Amino acid sequence: MSTPSAITRFRLDDFRRAMAAGEKLAMLTCYDYTTATLLEASGVKLMLVGDSAANVILGHDTTLPIPLDFLIELTAAVRRGAPSAFVMADMPFGTTSSVSAGTRNVVRMVQRSGCDAVKIECSRGHIRLIQNLADQGIAVFAHLGLTPQSVQRTGYKAQGRSAHDALMIADLAGDLINAGASGILLEAVPPEIARLITDRLDVPVIGCGAGKYCHAHVVVLHDLLGLTPRSPRFAPRIGDAGLSTRRAVARYIDDIAKGRYPKPAQGFSLSAEERAILKEELKHWAGDRD
């Protein structure tokens, strides 16, 4: 008996080879099984199950409220929907605040979701955690620049816009890579920072509004498809799924109101024999009610 062929998964080594070959890769956020199947079928090799789900899925103003267990379930769903993609899971606010808690929570995420890597919004205080995770063989991408989990301290604004701050970000990136991080994600920083980091460090660098020098670029899928009322300047609005969804729903409402739905072919029927039996049963039923 033949057995199914093994799924060829796009792994970190494949990402590194693409980087070395000068290939630019697309990454998108994804939060559910169905969308993951569509993205994989479209050729997306890199998917991020971001804590931005707090905004676009749960309706929060910030990413801070989203719980770890919820992101684990979303990541596991994306993993099932996109078995060949490189799936990166975000670590929510507060889950990496210490080496012990961070290690425990990251291991839990990897074991329960099947993700290929985790993303951590990093400061210099995360260096020991990164070392510990690297010792256990876990791929970590350090998120630098605009870090939404720090919104209460920094606000939502671009980072690294002075020479001093640019060098601080680049230095921290180097220290995190030396500690064992597998890659860097840069959000909302000038392109000079990405160029400095890509020139100095031989690791994949993912940009989120960080200019053309990054090896891959990620945006929130809902921004790309026009499903959000407003989006960051770096997120292209390539589609208008919001408009097409509203039109489809409006047609459904109208079809029901005007009797065009449901049609007989869209339902189920009894056989002639069962209709005859039901007719007789209804006579007795009507008699019993009298």
Helix, strand or coil, per DSSP, at residue 240: coil
For β-strands 140-145 and 205-208, DSSP reports them as unpaired
Q: Among all chains, which residue has been given the structure tokens 């007719």? A: 279
3-state secondary structure 148-193: HHHHHHHCCCCCCCCHHHHHHHHHHHHHHHHHCCCEEEEECCCHHH
Q: Say which DSSP state 148 is in.
A: G
- Which position has the token pair 């990496």? 96
* Dist. CA 280–CA 11, nearest whole Å: 65
Residue 265 tokens, joined? 């072919």
Determine which one of 23, 40, 73, 187 is catalytic: 187
Active site (annotated) includes residue 121? no
144 token code pair: 């630098």
Sign for the pseudo-dihedral over CA of 79, 203, 130, 56 = negative
| Count of residues in the chain | 290
> Residue 78 in contact with residue 47, Cβ under 8 Å?
yes
Task: Supply the residues annotated as catalytic.
Answer: 187
